[in-house]
Amino acid sequence: MRTLLNRHDKIPFPENDQIHFMQQALLEGRKGLGLTSPNPPVGAIIVDDNGEILGRGFHSKAGTAHAEVKAINDVIEKFGPDRLRGTNLFVTLEPCSTQGKTPPCCEAIIRSGIRRVFAAIDDPNPDHAGAAAAILNEKGVSVTTGILEEDAKYLIRFFQKRIETGKPWVIAKTAMTLDGHTTLPPERGQWISGLESRDDVQHLRRQCDAILVGGETVRTDDPMLTLRGKYAEGREQPERIVVTAVKDLPLRAKIFNDKHAHRTHVYHAQKLESILDDLGRRGICSVLMESGGSLFSHAIGRKLIDEVVFYMAPIIGGGPNTVMPVSGIMADLEDLSVEMIGRDIRVTARVVK
């Protein structure tokens, strides 16, 4: 934790309380997951010295107000502008110090009378990192950085990957039997994973800007690749990316004919690396890859996948298809998180690069 304390100032909260308030800000920030690209999701809360939470805000769309400004406006609406004087702002990412599509948040903070800013992490852009702390402190605002850094970095991992590499964060999602089969014998029907897992996939899709599949998936499964029901509320449908080596995609496929057809993009005979670069240039920060085994193996082999989400059904064996049909390609995983989703086991992990 690094603190730039204003002269004569004393932080009114012990460290445990700072962590608690930052958790609240992170909860706000998560509400923006999948809504903010090419910006990162950010959450903020404003607390008085007695620990009362006065206002909340999260960034919900690029070009609209940032989390800090929304939290400030929330306090003004509820209590009037005077209530902001001497308060504490907890924000999951260092406030912006430069003019973007909206005025810099640092200005709004200084103008509001907020006395202290607690930021989880610095701006990942090295040109801006730490700039806010200097600007704010010069104007008499105390700044503390480095609270729940891991959680805050996790929240902006899509954004950070694109800032640093130009490519979106790629999550590969697969439903499989416990031993890696991705198809069942024909008499068992289409679905390997249970209803709860399929619902969870909607939750995952909602966080991502684009869904990527291979041409073979379009030819075989004719999927819709859309957000449904409550998962579609408050955001646009994801872009649908089809990667295909051969040109003959079925023109009657749903993704070419439904009302979101303008969101379907076909990349023909292009390298996956270049496709991801192109998606990054178009402002896409996150891609959910829902491909079959051969594209998945290829992407793992090329080190293009950042994270995997496996829904493992309580079944062993299955049909002819498997997650990684190509022998000799492998990757180590880390940061495993294992959870029961209905009758299935969901394993989420990072790919070690």
In angstroms, rounded to a whole number, what is the distance separating the alpha carbons of residues 211 and 288?
A: 5
272 part of the interface to its own copies, by CB under 8 A:
no
Contact in structure between 287 and 323 (CB atoms under 8 Å): no
Contact segment (CB under 8 A) with its own copies among 50-58, 89-97, 172-180, 260-268 equals: 172-180
From the list 12, 103, 146, 180, which residue makes contact with its own copies (rule: CB under 8 A)? 180
Q: At what angle do helices 131-138 and 105-112 cross, to 10 degrees?
A: 30
Q: What separation in angstroms does the CA of 310 have from each of 198, 240, 275?
A: 12, 21, 24
What does the angle CA 277 – CA 279 – CA 285 come to, to the nearest 5 degrees? Answer: 100
Contact segment (CB under 8 A) with its own copies among 73-81, 110-118, 228-236, 320-328 equals: 320-328
What does the block give as tokens for 74?
Answer: 């929330």
Nearest distance in Å: CB 195, its own copies: 16
- Would you put residue 68 in left (φ > 0), alpha (ψ -120 to 50) or beta? alpha
220 part of the interface to its own copies, by CB under 8 A:
no
189 part of the interface to its own copies, by CB under 8 A:
no
What is the strand order of the sheet 264-268 is part of? 264-268, 239-244, 210-214, 286-289, 169-177, 307-313, 344-351
In angstroms, rounded to a whole number, what is the distance separating the alpha carbons of residues 309 and 173?
A: 5
User: CB count, 10 Å around CB of 326?
Assistant: 14
From the list 176, 276, 289, 295, which residue makes contact with its own copies (rule: CB under 8 A)? 176
Indicate the residue among 91 and 305 with the shorter CB distance to its own copies.
Answer: 305
Active-site residue (options: 15, 28, 52, 68): 68
Nearest distance in Å: CB 270, its own copies: 24
Indicate the residue among 44 and 324 with the shorter CB distance to its own copies.
Answer: 324
Contacts of 316 (CB under 8 A, 6+ apart): 177, 178, 179
From the list 184, 225, 287, 289, which residue makes contact with its own copies (rule: CB under 8 A)? 184
Indicate the residue among 42 and 300 with the shorter CB distance to its own copies.
Answer: 300
178 part of the interface to its own copies, by CB under 8 A:
yes
From the list 150, 164, 179, 236, which residue makes contact with its own copies (rule: CB under 8 A)? 179
**Residue 196 designated active-site:** no
Contact segment (CB under 8 A) with its own copies among 38-46, 122-130, 152-160, 307-315 equals: 307-315
Q: How far is CA 225 from the centre of its chain?
A: 18
What's the full length of the chain, in residues? 353
Contact segment (CB under 8 A) with its own copies among 110-118, 246-254, 268-276, 342-350 equals: 342-350
Q: How many residues line the site for its own copies (CB under 8 A)?
A: 40
218 part of the interface to its own copies, by CB under 8 A:
no
232 part of the interface to its own copies, by CB under 8 A:
no
Contacts of 10 (CB under 8 A, 6+ apart): none
Q: Which residues bind its own copies (CB under 8 A)?
A: 176-181, 184-185, 188, 297, 300, 308, 310, 314-320, 322-324, 326-334, 336, 338, 340, 343, 345, 347, 349, 351
Q: Would you please indicate which residues are annotated as catalytic (active-site) residues?
A: 68
